Structure formats: C-alpha cells, structure tokens
Amino acid sequence: MTSTSLHSSVDSDPISESNAHLLSLEPVDPAEFSFIPLPESQDATAVCRLSLIRTGSLELPASVLISPTEAGAVANLPAFTFLVEKDLNGKKEKLLFDLGLRDVSCDASLWKVQANAGVAQILVENNVDPSSISTIVLGHAHFDHIGDLSHFPSNVPMLVGPESPLGEQLARLMDVADDVVTSRAVRRLERETDSWEQIGTFQGLDYFGDGSCWILDVPGHTAGHIAMLVRTSADPPAYYVLASDTAHAPCLIFQAPQLKIGLFPETDLNPHGNPRKLTCMHDDPEESYKSIAKMRRMDMEANVQVLLAHDLSIDRAVPAGDFVALLGTLEEIKGLKSRDLTDL
C-alpha cells in the first residue's frame, strides 16, 4: 500500500454533522502514555516458546484500512494465530491465541477470503493434538479470528477479554452451535475484579505468575479485544506482543508520519445502513487511536516486536509454511525490526 495520493471511497459523500467527530480524530502521540519497563528475569524457565500459524488471507480495498491511500489500492493480508508453549511445574502448557480464518459466509462484499486448513488441522500436521491445548485465548470474536471451535474438545477451556459476549451470544459470533461454547469452561476477564497491573503501556494480567506471559487489555477494536505479551528469552530478554487487530495495517504502528484509520460509508458493511454515515473497522476509533499509540510505544523498545494478526511485512519476513516456530531470540527481533516496510 502506498500513500501518494489522497483518495477515499467517501470523498463524494456530504459530510454530515454526525460524522464530524469521527473525521476529526487524529493519531495519538505515544509519548502521551506512561511506560512501565517490562519485567526481566534471570530464571531461564520464565519464558515461553512461540509459533506463528498462517490460517489464510484476506483481500480488501486499502482505503478501508488506512487514509490517505492510492485510488484503487488493494490490501492482501495474512491471518495469523499463535501457539504459546511453556514448561510449568512438570506440565506442558499450551495456549492458542486466536483461531484464525475458516470458510464462513460474510455479509460484506468488502473482502475476499482464502482459508488454509483449519488451525486444528495445522496443529495436527505439526504434532500438536488439539486436545492438548490448555486454553484457547480469543483475541476477539470476529470472523477472521474465530476459526472453528467445534474442532476442539469441550474440555479445552477458553479465555475472553473484558466485555466480551458469553454463552449463546458468543456462539453466534463464533458461528458454532450453542453447546460448542456453553459446554466448555469460558472465563471472561473483568477489569474490576481481576488482578491487573500496568505492564509497558497497557493494563496486563500475569497469566503464569512469573512474568513470561501477560494478557493485555487493548480496547477500541471491539468488545473483549485483548492481546498477549510473551517473553521468549530471559538473557538477553526478548518479547513479542501478539496484538490481534489493534491495527489492521502495519503502517499505522510502524511507520511515520502515521496515517489515519480508513473511513467508509456504513453501507459498505450493511446494505441497509445510512450511505451518508461513515464508519471504520473499529467499534471505538477514538479508543483505537490510543491503543495504536500504546502499541507503537511498546514496539519502540529494542527488544520488543509487535505482531499484528494481519501484518504483511511479518508474513514476508518469517519462513514459509503454515506453522513457523519462532526462535524467540533478541537477534531474531532485531532482524524483524529491520524488515521491509515499503508498499504497506
């Protein structure tokens, strides 16, 4: 994607009063947010192993994601999920972050979807039994992240973020029968009662209790949107942030000057919507700009690499294949930070 000319699918629409606030929103300076240094550990076991899983790809107009952009530009995006593994008290813990794409019906005509083998099948092909997953951590319940939960036994629990739907409502969002959700343990994190503390720029929950894996509250995109901070090396310390849909285009986080979130007519997603009302890919774009800035600040750390769920630059930089075991070293992160960010 390039940004050489100002183009938007909404240029010809009258700017109604209801759009004034949305149109006024601008990227936020990361310096506005306090940063708590990430905890280090001399304990070589206080780390996790991380694997990237390619579940397919999406094609959609670039103007939906960023503004300004080139007229007619098309974005081809990967769809990642991640396997986080840890040896803990003689047990192998396996967290699956997001379930990725599957062939599902999409009402919107904005995108084309190409799904790979489902994430459960990819796990099997790489000697990981779906029944061995300790917990599915759902970044959020959008179609390109829900996969097919029915491929995982009901004794595999799920963790969802604050304000996430539950029960039958969550089942509908995940496009599965109600009992696929209601028959399993689903824990929803709560801002008021769980033990959150600031980690970097976000509020986080120390999942294993040793600082190796944090659930991050990253609001803005949709209800329940969460990310994960994973320490993959203790000495020297190295971290990955599994950022889900904090942003849909890497240039919103990794490049300066920053572009804006793309806006488009409501009718592009809902044929019964108001053609003069603008919308975007985030439920709360004002909060999303804050989360994008916070994520940008995290990535400014030399030993932290942010991994967005749809980052084409990461797709190009890591080895080919549906299942990629990352090294998790500081050297690997330094290499990824020097990756090609042009044409994004």
> Hey, CA dihedral for 316, 201, 208, 212, is it positive or negative?
positive
pLDDT, residue 70, reads 86
Q: Which helix (H) or strand (E) holds 184?
A: none
Q: What is the pTM of this model?
A: 0.92
Tokens 């780390």: give the residue.
Answer: 47
d(CA 304, CA 45): 19
Residue 53's DSSP bridge partners are 81, 323
Residue 306 backbone zone (phi > 0: left; psi -120 to 50: alpha; other: beta): beta
> Hey, CA dihedral for 195, 197, 203, 209, is it positive or negative?
negative
Residue 198's DSSP bridge partners are 203
**Which amino acid, 146?**
I
Residue 207 backbone zone (phi > 0: left; psi -120 to 50: alpha; other: beta): alpha
pLDDT, residue 105, reads 53
pLDDT tens per residue, the chain (344 residues)? 433 333 444 444 455 567 888 899 999 999 999 999 998 888 989 999 999 999 999 999 999 999 988 888 999 999 999 999 999 988 999 999 999 998 665 555 677 889 998 999 999 999 999 999 999 999 999 999 999 999 999 999 999 999 999 999 999 999 999 999 999 999 999 999 999 999 999 999 999 999 999 999 999 999 999 999 999 999 999 999 999 999 999 999 988 667 899 998 888 878 888 888 899 999 999 999 999 999 999 999 999 999 999 999 999 999 999 999 999 999 999 999 999 987 76
In three-state secondary structure terms, 340 is coil
pLDDT, residue 120, reads 97
pLDDT, residue 276, reads 85
Q: Which helix (H) or strand (E) holds 331?
A: helix 330-337
pLDDT, residue 342, reads 79
Are 308 and 314 in contact by the 8 Å Cβ rule? The answer is yes
Q: Could you please state the CATH topology (level 3) that the domain comprising 17-337 is classified under.
A: Metallo-beta-lactamase; Chain A (3.60.15)
Instruction: Characterize the bridge pairing of strands 66-67 and 260-261.
Output: antiparallel
pLDDT, residue 13, reads 46
pLDDT, residue 197, reads 97
